[in-house]
Every structure is written in structure tokens, then in C-alpha cells.
Structure 1
Amino acid sequence: MPTPPRDAPLESLKTQPFARDLAMTRIGMQVGARLALHSVRNLTRDTASRQRANQAFYREQGMALAHQLGQLKGGLMKAGQLLALYGEYFLPAEAVEALQTLQDNSQPVAWAIIERQLTRQLGKARMATLDIDPQPIGAASLGQVHRARRRGDANELCLKVLYPGVAESVDSDMRTLERLLATSRLLPRSVDPKPMFGEVRQMLHQEIDYRRERHFTEIYGRRLAGDTRFVVPAVIPDYCTRAVLAVRYEAGDDIHAASVQSLPQDTRDALATAMLELFVHEFFEWGTVQTDPNFGNYRFRRNGDGRVRIVLLDFGATRSFSKSFVDHYTAIIRAALLQDRDQVIASALSLQYAF
């Protein structure tokens, strides 16, 4: 079973773009003041001292930013998680280390806020048919998950609830974070943030569309129905809306559980092979990939016959690729295996890769 988040829940959530902008502007002013003081002090430091001071400064900046993003949730926190994942290529190591704290089990939002959101989305009549556990079984940057039982038939389900205000603040959040990274000097001047944030913005708009996620959950359920290695939770349409996704509850342990960590090597090898084969099917056959493969999106369950199945969760980041893109990418891999350098370059240029 998933372990409930241990942090005290957030009793309030800034949902309006203005309030979120104001919070980030405040931290931006603090960053600017610290940056000015740091720059002045660096004038009197030797090279070694300046390097140590810079490392401490970037670590402090990263921790301050991570804390604020975690409190604000939504697109800001999700963008911070992505920066932690890919920032090693352009951010100071100290800042990346600080931002990686956002990858841990996220602080949940108080039940009173979630209950109001659920009532707005489902209405009182549908809410009355459910017994919902106010303690979330999972909390993330954009929403959190609550376990529930339907009173009519006692079926267990999970309700994934989008935090209020997230959908309305994505574009504003990205503009604000882009400005803050520029003023904090965490982002090198040689890096143009606009393409990166454009990609993040597009991804966030997709992830907050729970109707879209329902669509892909159902597609994966059909495609993997005959593969006994995987479990895709069935969608419960009666409780699905733009901001609520309802699926059947599927038991399983996360990758850090003792029951998973103690699996024999041959079982672990089989699980890894299954996950790799799934990606191959996704990309090269289906042209559709769940692009957020962090281990929080997987559970592992031992059947009565002793076999371990992989429970697949969260299809919000699923992305479709054109046949042309898949064909060109396949050509790159084939040429690489044949050590055909010219063909690798030609196929990469067809995908508009820069060299």
C-alpha cells in the first residue's frame, strides 16, 4: 500500500495568478538583495574563497526557490521538478541538489480545500454516493489522490483531484518563474529559457486536462488487456470531470517498499525487461509514450501464483508522436547500430536536431 504523506497539510493555497505572482515577486526581491550583497563580498575574496561562496550562494538560492515552489504547488512546483530532472545540463549542481527535494513525497493540501473542489466538480448528489478517505494516498504538484468506496456496491476507487486554480495560472506561473530564474543567476545567460519554458507550458496544459488523461488511461487499458505483466486501473466514468479522474483502486507497493526491494534478482530482471519492452511498444509501434516515467507512477503487486505484476499509474504526461518522427528516430538507431555515421547525421537533421 502507498504510504500517506507525512508532512502537515497546507491549510491554504494561493490559487489566483495575482497572488502567486506576488509571492514569487517577493522572493525575487529577496534574491536580488542577496545577489547584490554576495557580489560585493566577492570583490574581496580570492579565487578559492569565491568558489566556496558561490557554491553556498547557489545552494541557498536553490533551497529558497524549492521551498516557495513547494508551497505554491501547481505549474511552479511541476516546473521546479523538471528543472531538478534536467537542470544538471545548465544549472549549478548546488541548485539542482536543492530542487531535487521537490521530487520527494509532496506536501498534501488540506482536505477542506479538496472537498470543496470535489463538490464543485461532482455535485452534492454524486458526492453523497461516496465514502472518501480525507487522508490522501498520494500528493503531487498538480493534484492529489484520495481513496474512496462507493456506497451502492462497495467498490473501491481512487479520485485524482486537480488543485483549484492550477488550470488558470499555468501561463502566468511560467512567465513568473522564467523571470525569477533570470534575476537569480541560477540560469546561465547563455541559455535561452523561452524554448524550454514553452515545452514545459505545453506539457502542463496537457497534464491538467483530466479528460485527456482519462482517454489515454482507457487506451493503455485496452492495449495491455492481454498482457498479464501489467495492470492498468479501469476508469470509473460516473465520477470523471475536467478536474477529477476516477479509477478503480489497485493495490500495490512502491519501489522503496521492503517487499519490492527484497525481490529475487531474476524477478527484478523480468520486471526491468517488461518495462523496457513496454517503452519499445509505446514508441515504435503505438507512437504514444507515457513521458513521465518516475517510479511514483508504478506499483508492484505479487499475485497468488507468485508472479509480480506492474501497476501503471498516471497517464497525464502521455504524448503522441507522428509516424514521420518515429521513422526518422528509428533510422537514427538503426544507423547507430550499423555504425553508419553519415546516416545518423542525415536522420538527425531530418528531425531538425542541431549540431
Structure 2
Amino acid sequence: MMGSVSEIVRRSSSRNAKLAKIPLGIAGRAAVGFGKKLVGGDKQQINAGLNQKAAEQLFTVLGELKGGAMKFGQALSVMEAAVPEEFGEHYRDALTKLQAAAPPMPIDKVHRVLDQQLGTKWRDRFQSFDDTPAASASIGQVHRAVWSDGRAVAVKVQYPGADEALRADLKTLSRMTGLFSSVIPGVDVKPLLAEITERTEDELDYRIEAGNQRRFAAAFDGHPHIAIPKVFASTPKVIVTEWLEGTPISALIAAGAQDPEGTRAQRNRIAELMGVFHFSSPELVGLLHSDPHPGNFLVAADGKLAVLDFGACAPMPDGFPRVLGEMLALAVAEDHDALTRLLYEHGWVIPGRTVTPEEIGAYLRPFSDPIRTDSFHFTRTWLQQVAGKASELSSPEMKTARALQLPPEHLMIFRVLGGSVGILAQLDAELGFMNLVRTWVPGFPAERAS
């Protein structure tokens, strides 16, 4: 047994106390800031200071905790490119740190999990096992080892009590969505938390992740540009996979910020490979990899894109839904009359609400730049503009948004699309987006009508 009831209660109370400090701390600083304004302090400078301290506290707590707090933080980190310039580099720095490793689990706990999952003679299955973790994630950490046949492997071990921590964090975070929206302008966290909660149970069973990864590895076996680690063994709390060396996408993003032109060709190539991977997977694998953040993609030594972490995958046995291709084709053609009819027919309009073709056209306009040309340059500036439009509560477009809903069967697709666009903007990359659509999305014409 991982721990007594009292230990679980103690850990849960400690985590809740850390999370609870976030709104209390921000509220206290807001009161101090209000007092400074009353005595004539510079409002812009005071607000900037409050924003910086709020962001630092928020992201420090999320980074220290594993479980749902770190998972939520990693999901937010993908959208750091959408944060407006005026909110400062502290947001970007703090969000980017959430892609890095969490504090490691003590090695005696790692050995205990391996004893329980692989048997007390688990060392016989390895030639060697490195007790120093190579990476830490939201619910587990990775150790490098050498399999019995001499192959280098990654051994991912789930943290004891990760299930209780994950569920408790998500419950606590769901009560703080208003706070997150105020600290991170333009990001709606409610659907993000709902989606993470929805897939929680699947991610806690590494056998499900192993099954997903085996399917991806088989489908992309021999691919000239994309590499998926093979699976050697799996249990509910441990998974052993092929070890792949590579440079994290986050390092490529950082290099691009320092030398935009020097790394542009490589960033564009990686963006294209990520696009090929996401767009082709539903047809080739029957699954969509649904955890897009830079920590899950590496540039291998041979130039291939290596993809990691298959705990979150959406089943798509028939590939992308045809209706999405049909909708996109109508959006490209600006046939908003037919598009609006399709939205009504397929449950995109909330029952009892009404939207007009003119309203749909105006609503889509800020998002439609990538579909106007075969190739589009995704930048932070563009994404900030889109996020800004999407967060104007009093705008006519927001009124239209409140009449629309995303059908549950399409939720993960748009989650992946949003996360991928965030990474593309971080990469400052140009991508042949529409060429990928024509190749892999049914319902969209193979050639654009003249």
C-alpha cells in the first residue's frame, strides 16, 4: 500500500494549502497596490509590479507541485506566446519554466514502486539502472537504464499517490478559474481544466499509454523523418520504452529568440514535421496525440522529430471527422450561409440561441489568417492579436461566441490545434498549413477552387 489514510490526508492538506496561498497572496498584494494608488503612486508601475509578483507566485507554486498542478501549468505554458507584450517577460519566463522538470522523487520510493510493479527481482531485467532521474513530469519521472539485451531504455515510474494528488489538484484548481483569467489575460482556463480532468483516469494507467504508444510506433516504423520510441514493458505504474536522444523543442525556441535568422530553416522544418505528425496520425494510427507542449517533442541527432508521452490520445478510428473538412472548406470560400447551416445541423449552436451568417463571418475573421494562403507565418504578434480579440468581453464577436459550443467529440481536436498553434508561434515558424489540410482532412477539396 502506498501510504496510510493519515499520510494521504496530510499530503492532500499540504497541497491544498500551497494552492490556497495563490488567491490569498494575490488579494493581499492587490489591497496594498490599491493603497499605494490612493496616496498618488504611479498606477501603471504599480499594476506592472502586481502582475509580476502574481505571476511569479502562481507559476512557482504550480511548478513545485506535481500532479494536476504541474500538468495544468504545462498546458498553460504552450500559450505563453499569446500573452500581450505589456504584461512583461516575467509571464513568459515563468510559463516556460513549467515545461522543465519538477523536483525528483526520492530513489527509495522509486525502488519501492519498481518492486511492486516489476517484482522484487526487477534488476535482473536490466543490465544497469541510473538512480538519478533524467526527467520529471506531472505524474511520474524518467530514469535511464540499459535493458537486458543491451538497448538503452527510458523507465517512467509513477509517483506514489499521484492519483490522489491529481484528482485533488484539479478539484482545487477548478475553483480558481476566475483568478487565472485575471492573471493570464486572454486565456480561458475552464475548458482546459475540464479536458485535463476528463482524461485523468486514462493517464494514470500506464498500460493505456503503452498501448497507444505501440500503435504509434508501428504506424511510424521506418518513417524517414518521425521517430516514436518502442515499448518494451508496461504495468499500471511503470512503462519501459526505447531511449531516444534529442534536443528539446524548448531549446530550439530559445535559440530562435537569440538568433531568428540563424535557426529559421530548422524551426520551419520542425514545424512542418509536427504538422505532418498531428495531421496524419488520425488516418495512419486511428489516434490523435493530445498533449502538445514543447517537452513532448525532441529534435533527434539524425534530424528526426521524436515524439514522447502518449498518455493522452483521442480515439479517431475513422480519421478526422469529414464535417470539419467541410466546415473549413466553407470558411475558406467565405460561404458563411452554408457554414452557419452546418453549424446548426451538427450541434455547434447552443439550443435556443441564434447566430447569423454575418455574425459567424465576423467571429471567424480574427482566426482565419492561416487559411487564406497555402503557407502562413505563425508569430507571437499574430497570436497576441487573436487572443486579444477573443478576450474582448463586450465585443460583438464575444456575443457570438457565447451562442456557440464545441461538440464533445471535437474537443480534443481543437485542444491539440490550439496547443500546436501556440508552439508554432513560439517557434516563429512558417508552415504550409493548408497543404496539410488538403492531404489529411477528408471533406476538404484536394485542390483549391479557382
**The residue matched to 2:327 in structure 1 has which SS?**
helix
Output one character per residue of 1:226-245: Cα deviation in whole Å (capped at 9) or x when no partner: 423222211112xx111211
Q: CA deviation at 1:339?
A: 3.0
For residue 102 of structure 1, what is the amino acid of its counterpart? K
Which deviates further from its counterpart, 57-66 or 104-113? 104-113
Output one character per residue of 1:107-126: Cα deviation in whole Å (capped at 9) or x when no partner: 34143443333333323112
Give the distance between the partners of 2:204 and 2:239, measured in 1 at CA: 11
Output one character per residue of 1:237-293: Cα deviation in whole Å (capped at 9) or x when no partner: 2xx111211112233343437xx9999987776554443222221246655211223
**The residue matched to 1:319 in structure 2 has which SS?**
strand
Q: In the alignment, what sits opposite 1:36? A: 31
Which deviates further from its counterpart, 77-86 or 183-192? 183-192
1:210–1:245 contact (8 Å) kept in structure 2: yes
Output one character per residue of 1:131-165: Cα deviation in whole Å (capped at 9) or x when no partner: 21122222223222111113x43332111122222
Q: In the alignment, what sits opposite 1:230? A: 226
Q: CA deviation at 1:20?
A: 1.0
For residue 216 of structure 1, what is the amino acid of its counterpart? N
For residue 224 of structure 1, what is the amino acid of its counterpart? F
In structure 2, the gaps of 5 or more residues are: 1-7, 350-400, 405-450
2:158–2:238 contact (8 Å) kept in structure 1: yes
Q: In the alignment, what sits opposite 1:54? A: 47
Output one character per residue of 1:296-334: Cα deviation in whole Å (capped at 9) or x when no partner: 22333355xxxx333222112222247597222111122
CA RMSD of aligned residues (A): 3.8
Q: CA deviation at 1:28?
A: 4.0
2:287–2:317 contact (8 Å) kept in structure 1: no
From 143, 155, 158, the equivalent of 2:154 is 158
Structure 2 matches for 1:172-191, cutoff 5 A? Answer: 172-180=168-176, 182=178, 186=182
Which deviates further from its counterpart, 282-291 or 245-254? 282-291
Which deviates further from its counterpart, 125-134 or 26-35? 26-35
**The residue matched to 1:299 in structure 2 has which SS?**
strand
Structure 2 matches for 1:214-229, cutoff 5 A? Answer: 214-229=210-225
Q: In the alignment, what sits opposite 2:77? A: 84
Q: Is 1:337 the equivalent of 2:332?
A: yes
Q: In the alignment, what sits opposite 1:208? A: 204
Give the distance between the partners of 1:272 and 1:309, measured in 2 at CA: 12
Q: CA deviation at 1:182?
A: 4.0
For residue 318 of structure 1, what is the amino acid of its counterpart? C
Q: In the alignment, what sits opposite 1:278? A: 277
For residue 274 of structure 2, what is the amino acid of its counterpart? M
Inter-CA distance 184–43: structure 2 relative to 1 (3 Å threshold): farther
Q: In the alignment, what sits opposite 1:147? A: 144
**The residue matched to 1:16 in structure 2 has which SS?**
helix
Number of aligned residue pairs: give it: 333
Q: In the alignment, what sits opposite 2:237? A: 243
Task: Determine what percentage of the aligned residue pairs are the same residue.
Answer: 25
Q: CA deviation at 1:180?
A: 4.2
**The residue matched to 2:275 in structure 1 has which SS?**
helix
Give the distance between the partners of 1:30 and 1:270, measured in 2 at CA: 43
TM-score norm. by structure 1 comes to: 0.78
Q: In the alignment, what sits opposite 1:254? A: 248
**The residue matched to 2:133 in structure 1 has which SS?**
coil
**The residue matched to 2:121 in structure 1 has which SS?**
helix
For residue 103 of structure 1, what is the amino acid of its counterpart? L
For residue 313 of structure 2, what is the amino acid of its counterpart? T
Q: In the alignment, what sits opposite 1:117? A: 113
Output one character per residue of 1:144-194: Cα deviation in whole Å (capped at 9) or x when no partner: 2111113x4333211112222221122321222233454688369999865
Q: In the alignment, what sits opposite 2:102? A: 107
**The residue matched to 1:216 in structure 2 has which SS?**
helix
Q: Is 1:127 the equivalent of 2:120?
A: no
TM-score norm. by structure 2 comes to: 0.63
For residue 133 of structure 1, what is the amino acid of its counterpart? D
**The residue matched to 2:348 in structure 1 has which SS?**
coil
Inter-CA distance 346–205: structure 2 relative to 1 (3 Å threshold): farther
Give the distance between the partners of 2:183 and 2:347, measured in 1 at CA: 27
1:62–1:98 contact (8 Å) kept in structure 2: no
**The residue matched to 2:299 in structure 1 has which SS?**
strand
Q: CA deviation at 1:26?
A: 4.0
For residue 23 of structure 1, what is the amino acid of its counterpart? K
Output one character per residue of 1:45-77: Cα deviation in whole Å (capped at 9) or x when no partner: 47xx22321221121011012111211111111
